[in-house]
Amino acid sequence: MREFAGKVAVITGAASGIGRGLAEWCVRAGVSVVLADIEEVSLDRTGADLKAMGGTVLCARTDVSKRGDVESLARRAFDAFGNVHLLFNNAGVAAGGAPWEATWNDWEWVIGVNLWGAIYGVKVFAPLMLAQNTECHIVNTASAAGLSAGGFSAPYSVTKHAVVALSESLYLTLQQRGTLVKVSVLCPGLVRTNIANAERNRPPELRNEPAPLTPKMQAGRAALEALVASSMPPSQVAEIVFEAIRKEQFYILTHPDWTEVIRLRTSRLLAMENPENPAAEVMKLLNQPM
């Protein structure tokens, strides 16, 4: 897909971060956008901002972990615009730590949003996009954590690896069938988003029992927030994504430092060497202490 004006895009996790960056790019390019997010106040604010930019916008509060919500999102999008040409399965959260320390609620919430959200998006929208018999593109947001070993959160890492596998399967199947629907998987490093504050959107029934923050935990959170604040802006990610769509490029790797980590991980795998901490490798490449 090389021309975007007049197309229709559906974006989940659209009220902030990468989702909002993609939506703003769409509006500037003349793409009508369907904004989906669970955070209603931020969703309405984003919708108003994009309309003020001259965009054609539909806001749809959506919990992507619920199949019915994604089915409703598709109905609203097609009822409003008749077609969907671009689908960004972008909504994501992070929680939990080591595999045995992450709570059952952590696992259920992160898998529900990150993995089931992408599965529902593909399962619901792909047949509808195929039936249009026109150029379409699906972008699933994974992470550099989906192509590297370990990570700060086992649930997050597991789901992002799974989203990469889902996307590869989708890509190969559509390619074999010669369809007009193309696929990419977005694997960014640190981006200036609100994912460090994802707890604000955790459903009440999946919240953990309150636990006191230790000084070490507070320091770690402060360090993460500082890193995120100085990281790549969503607008830059959006530019990279749409350039990849133009090229029909499957893997979208936005951060050169993580690209090297992925290469090292692949080399170790082929040599049957044991995995190493990807965060430590990134810091080595950046010449920063852990």
pLDDT in tens, 43-52: 999 999 999 9
Percent over 70 (pLDDT), the chain = 95
Q: Is 156 a catalytic residue?
A: yes
Q: Residue 239: what pLDDT? A: 98
Q: Is the pLDDT of residue 217 over 70?
A: no
Domains and CATH numbers, the chain: 8-254 (3.40.50.720), 258-290 (no CATH)
**pLDDT higher for 277 or 185?**
185
Distance of CA 169 to the CA centre of its chain: 17
Q: Residue 215: what pLDDT? A: 80
Q: Is the pLDDT of residue 281 over 70?
A: no
pLDDT in tens, 137-158: 999 999 999 999 877 899 999 9
What is the overall mean pLDDT for the chain?
Answer: 93
The residue annotated as part of the active site, out of 120, 156, 171, 251, is: 156
Give the pLDDT mean for 265-273: 94
pTM equals 0.93
Q: Residue 283: what pLDDT? A: 57
Q: Is the pLDDT of residue 166 over 90?
A: yes
Q: Is the pLDDT of residue 242 over 80?
A: yes
Phi, psi of 273 (to 5 degrees): -95, 155
Report which of 144, 121, 137, 123 is spatially closest to residue 171, judged by C-alpha positions.
137
